[in-house]
């Protein structure tokens, strides 16, 4: 457990979990799911959220038993070297998630606003901002997550405009897809919820961490509500084959909005989205730095700068939309594997090892 003054209230976990889930993927997640599940895509949003809740439950079982973060759990269970190696896998995962969000956001700026922008330069400016957030410690990152939910929330109101053209019949008939199609869709949807594994790093920073579990589930529920709202809007606003043409279906919803003071809303929306992704990237990088710092015993500040330089290099080296798509695929498969394969297995292993230890201890005292 961390010192009291470094800790946050349990309810902030709501914002942290929600913020890390809702990143840049929400701007174009519909296409891949509607490809499989068509008008039933909204069911998949709910199913995936339930699966995420189960995974969150697994994490809490593991963390509540150990009361430390993932790095220490690894060290405790597998020793310094093997545990450290396993931890590095997770650190790579978090860095990869941050790179994915960051690069996708830059791509959106490139495609939607400034086609000939200097990517290296704009990422330097963003990275300075990220450095500023993370160097303030976890409390700043948590506070930023809170503001990142509350301030840009007005953005979601603007998605009510497209409902003028809604065709609610498109939702019918309910469930006309096969289980296989639904399962494939669910797999795609799961990727949109990724990122909440950072919970395993900030767990010791929560006051009364066991009490925060319900807030984590609420956070997940809130993410689901937003995804569900956007998914239903998409289904009723577009026709099925039409949505397959749009890379960013959510952003394209804004193309229909026209307000007296602004001709095109995307520009305001995309800029506001920075506030949504900033805590997201910060939290991932924070988790990676804190983890790496523990493993290698390096001063956090230098390591942070090193990681941010790495982030910057990644962002400028990935040049076209093909590579970005590949990056998305890799980072999502990696993240999925860790959350749905690694975490449950780790929970079981920890259960077995701790039980054995207890038996041994029991024998000694007897």
Partner 1 sequence: MGKLRINIGLLAVSATLLTGCMGIETQVVDELQLATAAGFKHIKDDEIEATISFPVFLTDKTVKNATLTATDTLNKELRDRQNLKSEKPIVSGKLEVILFDRQLAERGFFDHLDSLMRDPSIGSKVFVVVLDDDPKDVLSKQYGNKDTGIYLSNIIQQNIETGLIPKTNLHLFTYNYYAEGKDPAIPIMAQSRDGVGIRALGLFKHDKLVHQIEKDELFFYKVLFDSNSSGETMAIKFNEDKKASIINVESTRKYEVLQPMSNAEIKIKVKAKMMIREYNNGLLNKDKMKEMENFIKKRFEEKSAELIQQFQQKGTDPLGIGEQVRTRTRNWDKKKWDELYPNIPITVQAEIEMIESGLIN
What does the binding site for partner 1 look like in residue numbers (CB under 8 A)?
111-114, 116-118, 121-122, 124-125, 128, 131-132, 135, 165, 167, 169-170, 172-173, 176, 238-242, 245, 252, 255-256, 258, 263-264, 266, 301
> Min. distance of Cβ 312 from partner 1 in angstroms?
13
Q: Which is nearer to partner 1, 43 or 194 (CB)?
A: 43
- CB distance 355 to 70 below 8 Å: no
CA diameter of the chain: 80
Q: Which is nearer to partner 1, 86 or 265 (CB)?
A: 265
> Min. distance of Cβ 110 from partner 1 in angstroms?
10
> Min. distance of Cβ 170 from partner 1 in angstroms?
7
Alpha helices in 238-299 (DSSP H): 240-243, 249-253, 266-296
Rounded to an integer, what distance in angstroms lies between the CA atom of residue 287 and that of residue 290? 5
In this structure, how many other beta carbons lie within 10 angstroms of the beta carbon of residue 160?
Answer: 12
> Min. distance of Cβ 164 from partner 1 in angstroms?
9
> Min. distance of Cβ 279 from partner 1 in angstroms?
18
Q: Which is nearer to partner 1, 245 or 357 (CB)?
A: 245
**Cα distances (Å, whole numbers) of residue 273 to 101, 155, 211, 257:** 11, 9, 31, 17
Q: Which is nearer to partner 1, 80 or 245 (CB)?
A: 245
Helices 30-37 and 213-237, axial angle in degrees (round to 10): 70
SS3 call for 297: coil
Q: Which is nearer to partner 1, 299 or 363 (CB)?
A: 299
Q: Which is nearer to partner 1, 114 or 154 (CB)?
A: 114
CB within 8 Å of 50: residues ≥ 6 apart: none
**Cα distances (Å, whole numbers) of residue 308 to 101, 108, 134, 149:** 14, 21, 11, 24
């Amino acid at each position: 457990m961390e010192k009291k003054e470094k800790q946050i209230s349990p309810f902030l976990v709501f914002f942290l979990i929600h913020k890390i889930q809702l990143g840049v993927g929400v701007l174009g997640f519909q296409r891949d799911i509607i490809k499989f599940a068509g008008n039933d895509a909204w069911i998949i949003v709910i199913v995936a959220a339930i699966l995420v809740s189960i995974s969150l439950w697994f994490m809490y079982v593991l963390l509540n038993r150990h009361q430390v973060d993932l790095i220490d759990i690894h060290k405790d269970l597998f020793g310094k070297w093997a545990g450290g190696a396993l931890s590095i896998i997770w650190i790579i995962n978090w860095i990869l998630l941050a790179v994915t969000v960051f690069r996708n956001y830059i791509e959106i700026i490139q495609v939607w606003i400034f086609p000939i922008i200097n990517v290296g330069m704009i990422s330097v400016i963003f990275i300075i901002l990220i450095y500023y957030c993370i160097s303030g410690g976890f409390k700043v990152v948590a506070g930023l997550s809170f503001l990142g939910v509350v301030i840009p929330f007005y953005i979601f109101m603007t998605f009510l405009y497209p409902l003028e053209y809604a065709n609610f019949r498109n939702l019918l008939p309910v469930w006309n897809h096969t289980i296989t199609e639904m399962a494939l869709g669910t797999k795609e949807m799961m990727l949109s919820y990724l990122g909440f594994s950072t919970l395993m790093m900030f767990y010791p920073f929560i006051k009364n961490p066991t009490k925060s579990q319900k807030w984590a589930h609420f956070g997940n529920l809130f993410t689901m509500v937003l995804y569900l709202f956007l998914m239903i809007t998409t289904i009723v606003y577009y026709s099925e084959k039409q949505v397959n043409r749009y890379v960013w279906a959510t952003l394209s919803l804004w193309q229909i909005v026209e307000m007296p003071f602004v001709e095109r809303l995307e520009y305001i929306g995309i800029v506001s989205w920075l506030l949504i992704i900033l805590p997201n990237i910060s939290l991932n990088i924070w988790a990676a730095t804190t983890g790496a710092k523990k493993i290698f015993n390096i001063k956090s500040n230098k390591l942070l700068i090193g990681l941010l330089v790495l982030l910057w290099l990644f962002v400028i080296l990935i040049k076209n939309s093909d590579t970005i798509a590949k990056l998305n695929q890799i980072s999502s498969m990696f993240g999925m594997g860790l959350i749905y394969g690694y975490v449950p297995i780790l929970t079981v292993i920890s259960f077995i090892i701790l039980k054995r230890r207890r038996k041994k201890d029991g024998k000694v005292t007897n």
